[in-house]
Amino acid sequence: MEKALPSIPAKRYFTIGEVSDLCGVKPHVLRYWEQEFTQLRPMKRRGNRRYYQHHEVLMIRRIRDLLYDQGFTISGARNKLQELVQGERDKRKAGEVMLEGVEVIEVEDSGFDEFEDLGAEDDNSPASQKLLFVRRELSEIRDLLSAAY
């Protein structure tokens, strides 16, 4: 029964029909889940038409996964979702950077010497200035990431 869900388009708002198609759940189920999961609050406009945002579509997919794939009850899924949301809040409060799926790569500085030599002929050219700026930014990012680990 596990069918791959379509990717979520880059839109600001989604209708209930679009969310139904994106999440593989019928619209009446989405309306029911709004009553059961307090975190799920789509914006309502004229005639109580629902408009979901990207994060709500992701939440619906998570709820669907908990209920249909992992076998949670509504109550269990509500508790699990609350734990996940609270855990993310705690991490943000503690100032932790969430880097799921990021692999640490050791980089030797010697590789940057060749990079600097590329713009050595014309140090004032806009291209070499941009390259220098990018190099500095990347070095700062590397330092921040290495400090996190």
| pLDDT (0 to 100) of residue 105 | 55
Number of domains the chain is built from:
2
Record the tokens describing residue 97, joined without a space. 């950077």
Each residue's pLDDT tens digit, 92-103: 777 655 555 555
| pLDDT (0 to 100) of residue 1 | 44
Q: Identify whether 5 is part of a domain.
A: no
Check whether residue 84 and residue 29 sit in a common domain. Answer: yes
Alpha-carbon distance 102 to 141, whole Å?
A: 13
Q: Residue 116: give the domain boundaries.
A: 110-148
Question: The domain that contains 34 carries what CATH number?
Answer: 1.10.1660.10
Record the tokens describing residue 120, joined without a space. 């050595």
Residue type, 109: D
Check whether residue 71 and residue 132 sit in a common domain. Answer: no
pLDDT above 70 covers a percentage of the chain that reads 76
| pLDDT (0 to 100) of residue 142 | 80
Record the tokens describing residue 17, joined without a space. 């029909």
Q: Identify whether 9 is part of a domain.
A: no
Record the tokens describing residue 112, joined without a space. 């940057």
Each residue's pLDDT tens digit, 44-59: 998 889 999 999 999 9
Q: Identify whether 101 is part of a domain.
A: no
Q: Which residues of the chain have pLDDT under 50?
A: 1, 119-120
